Amino acid sequence: MSGQLKEVRNRISTVQSIQKTTKAMKMVSAAELRRAQDAILQMRPYALKLQEMLQGIAASGDNDLETGLGENRPVKKVLMVVITSDRGLCGGYNSNLIKLARQVIRDKYADLFSRGQVEIMPIGKKGYEYFVKSGYPVNGKFRQLFSGLSFVHVREAAELVVRGFLSREYDVVEIVYSEFRNAGLQQFRHEVFLPLPRASHKGNGVKHRADFIYEPGKPEILTVLLPRILNTQFYKTVLDAHASEHGARMTAMDKATENANEFLRNLKISYNRARQAAITTELTEIVSGAAAQGG
């Protein structure tokens, strides 16, 4: 009986140590989330406005897009940018992103993948480790982007993607990431980054045209503006993923702390029952011994 009590005490001590760790990680994630949330909330209006401008340029029927970043050509090779985290302990965050990336490849590019024409560009160590281990063609140049997250580093990644598309190394570039909504909610998304979306049409079949005046000239403006818009959109996507990661980790650590509380409660009940049984057994033995002596 004493051995059983000692085992339960050891388990209680272990769970209490784990609970202290999860509480500390929850507090750290909360602080990181606050900074990441401020960054994406400040960036999002600017990025959305640039996105509206990009859609307006596409809707204007600009022929310059047909031979540049908006060129739709036969798809021979695909680049899939998958943004995961560097660390684990964030629930199903990374596994859900990897699952979505695999689903997109299976549904849209199964034939190309079978011929080795789907390349993965992981941002985050968890995605890099998974895709390398699974035998996918991987470009791991920016797998540690989150270790020094800044617009300069993200711009380098975006420019590499744009150069790859313009040089026809890739015909389609898609991004799989998590869009930040709040601390407890992340929406896993995949979007076509390149080629740029084409003009939209209204119900009557008439193309929606935006009235732009280009100064000094349309080619000069588009040459400078479009890469900057793409850099900003890429940076906004990375910030979304960064905030989502910390939100997912904070939620996971909070849930782990609650589970530890419940586990501790059950262990203490088991310990008290075992202790009570041991005391009862000892009293019974004493009474029995006293009765035998008296007899």
Residue numbers annotated as active site: 90
Backbone angles phi, psi at 177, to 5 degrees: -155, 180
CB 94 within 8 A of CB 88: yes
CA 176 from centre of chain: 9
Cα(281)–Cα(170) distance, integer angstroms: 77
Question: What CA–CA distance (Å, rounded) separates 77 from 97?
Answer: 21
Residues in the chain: 295
Structure tokens of 35?
């900074």
Q: Are 43 and 235 in contact (CB under 8 A)?
A: yes
H or E element that contains 294: helix 218-294
Coil, strand or helix at 109? coil
Query: 93-108 and 125-133 helices cross at what angle (nearest 10)?
Result: 50
Query: Nearest-CA neighbor of 158 among 131, 187, 121, 129?
Result: 121
Q: Report the alpha-carbon distance of residue 245 to residue 231 in Å, rounded.
A: 21
Among 157, 123, 117, smallest CA distance to 137 is for 117
Give the pair of three-digit tokens for residue 112.
Answer: 């190309």
Assess contact for 26 and 254: CB atoms under 8 A: yes
Alpha-carbon distance of 28 to 252, in angstroms, equals 13
Strands (E), 40-167: 78-83, 118-123
